[in-house]
Structure 1
Amino acid sequence: MAVGLKEYLGVPGSRVVVIDRGPAPAPHWPDFVAAADGWLEVEVEAGPAPRVTTLRGSRPHGAITLVGDVEARQLAPLAEILRSLATGRIDADTPATQGLLAELEAPVTMETYVGATCPFCPAVAAASLRFALSSPLVAVTIRRADQVEAPADVTSVPTVRVNGVVVSRGSIGEYALAEAVVGAAKR
């Protein structure tokens, strides 16, 4: 059974601030703000394409940035990360993921390249975003591959780069992705 946006985001939570910079306001923000239980604040700023959206919660977390328009299948991971930022609850696939990310000793930069209609991209994007919540050492940027200039090693979506090196192409489970992130950080 599908849960509606109001039911999903209409929970008590701490303040979440979204800074959305682009050529025009993103069309989904009014629905998200209306669905949230008063904790979501969206600041819209005029800027060039591609759109750059920054998410900030009240609790410690890694940097979270979205580059390109969030639409179609990518709206679900956005709703999930907003709710998690507000509630502090991380719905990881397994608690072992957070334990693995706790092994990080230095900051890492994750770039997850996605497509709006890619069937595997929402799961990989959602896992990547949860990593930023699990560790303040993980900075995550979700990039729409069709709206940004992607590096030459990004040949398909989803593709995940850690500290500039591709660690995953295609579908990957959350724990396997965490292993790849931690492994890349140790190199």
Structure 2
Amino acid sequence: MAFDSYVAICNPLRHSAILTSQAIAKIRLSVGMRGVLLLGPHPFLVQRLPHCRTNVISHTYCEFMALVKLACVDTTVMTAYSLVVAFFTGGLGLLLVVLSYVMILWATFRLSSKEARCKSLSTCSSHICVMLVFYTPAFFPFLSHRFDHVAPHVHILIANMYLLFPPMMNPIIYGVRTPGIRQRVLHILSMKAA
């Protein structure tokens, strides 16, 4: 989204020439390969760990660090590896998105027309909201396992919110931006208030 917005605002006349089917396929392939390279070793690493205590994790889904914590050996290397993976999957993505939006804002504020600036900022605002809704709860589960200062029930609640909240909020964020949907919701709410 950030790259698409950047191209649409900074190079609007070349948008279809830059974001060709081949370019999108390359982006998809690089994202997929990043996932395979970074997350592919997880099952093999966990399989090699000896578990001499319980084999029950206190989570609603199978999380790598929850499985690592069950091991009865030193897991410092796996914890460090998992932190590196968390940085490259979440942190690097966030860094690239922030860089993209800094460039978008730089280009937007250089536009001569106030109407064009407002339209560009309006388009970006929903994207930024989606990014905040996704990345804000994402870092808590990643980091809380590494530092053990969070009560297990709080960690489970936040981890589940990370899985449920962003997909639930996406249609709401984009729906509010769509004039037809916004008018219909306001009409229904005004009927109920009357």
TM-score by length of 2: 0.26
Structure with a larger share of its residues in strand:
1
Structure with a larger share of its residues in helix:
2
TM-score by length of 1: 0.27
